[in-house]
Amino acid sequence: MGGAAKPAKSAEVGSIGPKPCTAILTTVSGDPRKEWEDEEEVATDERIHTEKPRQYKVILHNDNYTTMEFVVLILMRFFHKSEPEATHIMLTVHHKGHGIAGIYSKDVAETKVHQVTSFAQDHGMPLKLTAEPAD
């Protein structure tokens, strides 16, 4: 209690920090080069082939009740279209009966259809959207 603290012992006089650690690498089955070569062969023999996920079009369908302004709003809000681009798609839907709002993976396309349909129903609009394969 009353005694002075003892100075810490140093491994070497004048050294800074702890001594560097050294390790010895050993292998279980002998020649480490052989083990490395085996690993390389396995890694290069197997190739995984992945395909791009199938894309889906989100299609807006024309009706006689949903306003043109509402369709432009939907395209800007849910499909991140600029106002001129949204207007162009809306006019395509109006004149041809349908138009593509965007092309997405299946899950994203189905989610957008659900979100927009719910939003339209909440606002009293009978807007119809579908998701169809883009192929």
Span 58-88, pLDDT tens digits: 999 999 999 999 999 999 999 999 999 999 9
The structure's pTM equals 0.63
Question: Which residues constitute the domain of residue 124?
Answer: 55-133
CA 59 to chain CA centroid, Å, is: 23
Q: Is residue 117 domain-resident? A: yes
Domain count, the chain: 1
Q: What is the pLDDT of residue 106?
A: 96
Q: Is residue 32 domain-resident? A: no
Residues 6+ apart with CB under 8 A from 74: 60, 101, 116, 119, 120, 127
CATH code for the domain in which residue 116 is found: 3.30.1390.10
Per-residue pLDDT of the chain (135 residues; tens, 9 = 90+): 555 555 555 445 555 656 665 555 555 555 555 555 555 555 555 678 888 889 999 999 999 999 999 999 999 999 999 999 999 999 999 999 999 999 999 999 999 999 999 999 999 999 999 999 998
Q: Is residue 24 domain-resident? A: no
Order of all β-strands in the sheet with 98-105: 98-105, 55-61, 128-133
Q: What is the DSSP letter of 74?
A: H
